[in-house]
Amino acid sequence: GPAIPEEYYLPADSLGTHPDTLLTRRANATLLMLARNSDVDNAVRSVRRLEDRFNRKFGYPWVFLNEEPFSEEFKTRMSNVIGSEATYAQIPPHHWYQPDWIDEDKARAGRDKMVADNIIYGGSVSYRNMCRFNSGFFFRHPILQKYKWYWRVEPDVHFHCDVDYDPFLYMEDHNKTYGFTITMYEFGATIPTLWDTTKEFIKAHPEYVAKNNAMGYMSDDNGNSYNLCHFWSNFEIANMDFWRGEAYSKYFDFLDAKGGFYYERWGDAPVHSIAVSLFQSKDQIQFFDEIGYEHNPYTHCPKGDGAWRRGKCDCEIKHSFDYNGYSCMRQWDRIQ
């Protein structure tokens, strides 16, 4: 996309100035991390990196979610690296655990098959809980109700460049819904029936499909089949009002009722990506080239002219995932 306009950047001499003195405007936004207590080392490192590269200048609050109570150690160590407000909240059990109406024998058979086929997290129920929670529930958490925007952060991710502008305000002013840094192919074996289920949904609800949608990024044959391209959702900057809205709520309920989060291993990444690509216009999706980002094993490094220098990036442009054969940047570029 086009470069971020100058007005969204901080003044060059603002280093060390407190956000409250510096900023005239803030978005209704939070930084958000789902984590286990056992993730504490990597979780603290991620947060410290984003504080250093971005949030120490902007002072957005943090929200941490966990299906168990956070330990005192987690809270103490985390708050020690955060300059703004942090909230540690527990997830209601019915937002997290496998529902009773799921046929456990069928679910177990699905897991066993994926273990036999060597699918990553194929045998894990907790991973499925997490994917379903991130697909349909995090934005319903009571703590998040007051926020419109979130930036999803995971343990042990890296931010390779200074982010000296406010991505939330940029998105708000430009009517964006969803921002990403890395796009790639999903493992087809984790979502055998997701596309057919989606087609069934849009046949029943053609009114939710946006005119200028991004179908051309996800399908090479006008929507007949899914090319497995999705936005890597361990990084997301997005508008929760979209997830809370009618189209996505109905879509999620439809998917959930099919049981594919447990019978298969539907990920929140393809679910979010398909929804935003179909139910929003393609220009409501933002590729954040300026944000250098790494989640093992892949890195996005800014390719934009000057962005790498301006952001004092410590990544190598040549190694950016954008140019990798598994990247879906080609499919993204072709619809621009």
Q: CB of 273: closest distance to ligand GDP in angstroms?
A: 14
Task: Pick the stretch among 1-9, 126-134, 247-255, 328-336 that binds ligand GDP (CB under 6 A).
Answer: 126-134
Quick check: 271 binds ligand GDP (CB under 6 A)? Answer: no
Task: Pick the stretch among 18-26, 35-43, 52-60, 204-212 that binds ligand GDP (CB under 6 A).
Answer: 35-43
Contact residues for 203 (Cβ-Cβ < 8 A; gap 6+): none
Cα 244 to Cα 5: distance, rounded to the nearest angstrom: 29
Taking CB under 6 A as the criterion, the residue among 4, 40, 60, 66 binding ligand GDP is 66
Cα 327 to Cα 336: distance, rounded to the nearest angstrom: 16
Catalytic residue among 51, 186, 236, 294: 236
Contact map string, positions 113 to 152, toward Mn ion, x by CB under 5 A: ----------------------------------------
Of 252, 39, 230, which is closest to residue 134 (Cα–Cα)? 252
Cα 216 to Cα 202: distance, rounded to the nearest angstrom: 16
User: Toward ligand GDP, which CB reaches closer, 35 or 144?
Assistant: 35
* Positions 213 through 252 that interact with ligand GDP (CB under 6 A): 234
Taking CB under 6 A as the criterion, the residue among 34, 238, 274, 275 binding ligand GDP is 34
Taking CB under 5 A as the criterion, the residue among 39, 67, 154, 173 binding Mn ion is 154
SS3 content of the chain, % helix, strand, coil (to 5): 45, 15, 40
Contact residues for 167 (Cβ-Cβ < 8 A; gap 6+): 151, 179, 237, 288, 291
Quick check: 67 binds ligand GDP (CB under 6 A)? Answer: yes
User: Toward ligand GDP, which CB reaches closer, 67 or 283?
Assistant: 67
- The binder of 313, among ligand GDP, Mn ion, none, by C-beta within 5 to 8 A per type, is none
Cα 10 to Cα 31: distance, rounded to the nearest angstrom: 19
Task: Pick the stretch among 48-56, 122-130, 188-196, 208-216 that binds ligand GDP (CB under 6 A).
Answer: 122-130
For 199-261, list the strands marked E by DSSP: 229-231, 236-239
Cα 299 to Cα 210: distance, rounded to the nearest angstrom: 31
Sign of the alpha-carbon torsion through 260, 265, 268, 270: negative
Give the residues across from 9 on adjacent strands. Answer: 165
Quick check: 155 binds ligand GDP (CB under 6 A)? Answer: yes
Quick check: 97 binds ligand GDP (CB under 6 A)? Answer: no
Q: CB of 234: closest distance to Mn ion in angstroms?
A: 5
* Positions 284 through 313 that interact with ligand GDP (CB under 6 A): none
CA separation, residue 264 to residues 97, 100, 110, 115, 233 (Å): 16, 17, 6, 12, 19
* Binding residues with Mn ion: total (CB under 5 A): 2
Quick check: 173 binds Mn ion (CB under 5 A)? Answer: no
Contact map string, positions 159 to 198, toward ligand GDP, x by CB under 6 A: ----------------------------------------
The token duo for 89 is 């909240």
Q: Is 236 one of the catalytic residues?
A: yes
Cα 276 to Cα 272: distance, rounded to the nearest angstrom: 6
- The one-character DSSP state at 9 is B
* Positions 197 through 236 that interact with Mn ion (CB under 5 A): 234
- The binder of 67, among ligand GDP, Mn ion, none, by C-beta within 5 to 8 A per type, is ligand GDP
Contact residues for 309 (Cβ-Cβ < 8 A; gap 6+): none
Contact 301, 165 (CB under 8 A): no
Quick check: 75 binds ligand GDP (CB under 6 A)? Answer: no
121 Rama class: left (phi>0) / alpha (psi -120 to 50) / beta: left
- Among all residues, which ones are annotated catalytic? 236
Contacts to ligand GDP by CB under 6 A: 34-36, 39, 66-67, 126-127, 130, 154-155, 234
Contacts to Mn ion by CB under 5 A: 154, 234
